[in-house]
A and B are shown apart, each in its own frame.
Chain A
Amino acid sequence: EDKVVQSPLSLVVHEGDTVTLNCSYEVTNFRSLLWYKQEKKAPTFLFMLTSSGIEKKSGRLSSILDKKELFSILNITATQTGDSAVYLCATHDRGSTLGRLYFGRGTQLTVWP
């Protein structure tokens, strides 16, 4: 049973569109939620969220966490073709193996020119 569920599984948009990727999770003692971007190779780190309601922002990407409702969203504004990738969400809980992350299946984002 998946601890981390991402939606949608795939998304196709045109350049300039704004997208919202969703991640819901179920962990016993939540510690943090992480977003990664994966472009046909190793995942690269985007954000780590530990506190509810505090937005993390980097350029056109932003993310926020809702610890009450157990979800996070990743927003990308003014999308570019270079944003095409799989976006992975992962959570870490205090009760798990030290440092272990639980990954969702990812959202495949395709941005057409």
Chain B
Amino acid sequence: NAGVTQTPKFRILKIGQSMTLQCTQDMNHNYMYWYRQDPGMGLKLIYYSVGAGITDKGEVPNGYNVSRSTTEDFPLRLELAAPSQTSVYFCASTNPQGALYEQYFGPGTRLTVT
């Protein structure tokens, strides 16, 4: 299993540009998440999904959109990039069983908006 994969690894955007961060998992996990991590800070939840066709906002959803058409894929869309979106983005997935909520993380995408 590849686990959780993310592309691209790095990206530089200009203000106002758009892009999609890709996330794929091959563990058949129902739950998927997008986090952002700013320097010296913990992870903040952007959006999450509990299954194909179901998404919801996390703590910091403004400026982002998601879709979940399949169990495997959970892309994150930035429509009008702003410098405040410069961050490292992590995708994660889990399949809760009872009290087990270990989340498996992808390698991250480092995004710079200038």
Residue numbers of A with Cβ under 8 A of B are 4, 9, 31-32, 34, 41-45, 48, 50, 88, 90, 92, 97-101, 103-106
A97 to B50, CA, bound (A): 10
Are B48 and A97 closer than 8 Å at their CB atoms? yes
Shortest Cβ distance from residue B43 to the other chain A in the assembled complex, whole angstroms: 4
Main secondary structure of the interface of B (DSSP, over half): strand
Chosen A-B contacts, 24 in total, with CB atoms closer than 8 Å, are: A4-B42, A31-B101, A32-B101, A41-B108, A42-B107, A42-B108, A43-B43, A43-B90, A43-B105, A44-B105, A50-B99, A90-B42, A97-B48, A97-B58, A98-B31, A98-B50, A99-B96, A100-B58, A101-B45, A101-B103, A103-B43, A104-B42, A105-B40, A106-B42
User: If A98-B50, A99-B31, A99-B96 touch, does A88 touch B42 (CB 8 Å cutoff)?
Assistant: yes
Please give, as numbers and ranges, the residues of chain B lying within 8 Å of A32 by CB-CB distance: 99, 101
Residue numbers of B with Cβ under 8 A of A are 4, 31, 33, 35, 40-45, 48, 50, 56, 58, 90, 94, 96, 99-108
Are A100 and B42 closer than 8 Å at their CB atoms? no
Count contacts between A and B, CB distance < 8 Å: 63
Shortest Cβ distance from residue A93 to the other chain B in the assembled complex, whole angstroms: 10
A105 to B41, CA, bound (A): 5
Please give, as numbers and ranges, the residues of chain B lying within 8 Å of A42 by CB-CB distance: 4, 90, 105-108
Please give, as numbers and ranges, the residues of chain B lying within 8 Å of A41 by CB-CB distance: 107-108
Most chain B CB inside 10 Å of its own CB: which residue of A9, A42, A43, A45: A42
User: If A4-B42, A41-B108 touch, does A101 touch B48 (CB 8 Å cutoff)?
Assistant: no
Please give, as numbers and ranges, the residues of chain A lying within 8 Å of B45 by CB-CB distance: 100-101
Q: Kindly list the 5 A-B residue pairs having the minimum CB-CB distance in the complex, ordered from nearest.
A: A103-B42, A42-B105, A103-B43, A99-B31, A105-B42
A106 to B88, CA, bound (A): 15
Are B107 and A99 closer than 8 Å at their CB atoms? no
Please give, as numbers and ranges, the residues of chain A lying within 8 Å of B58 by CB-CB distance: 97, 100
Nearest CB in chain B to that of A3: its residue:
B42
User: If A32-B99, A92-B101 touch, does A99 touch B42 (CB 8 Å cutoff)?
Assistant: no
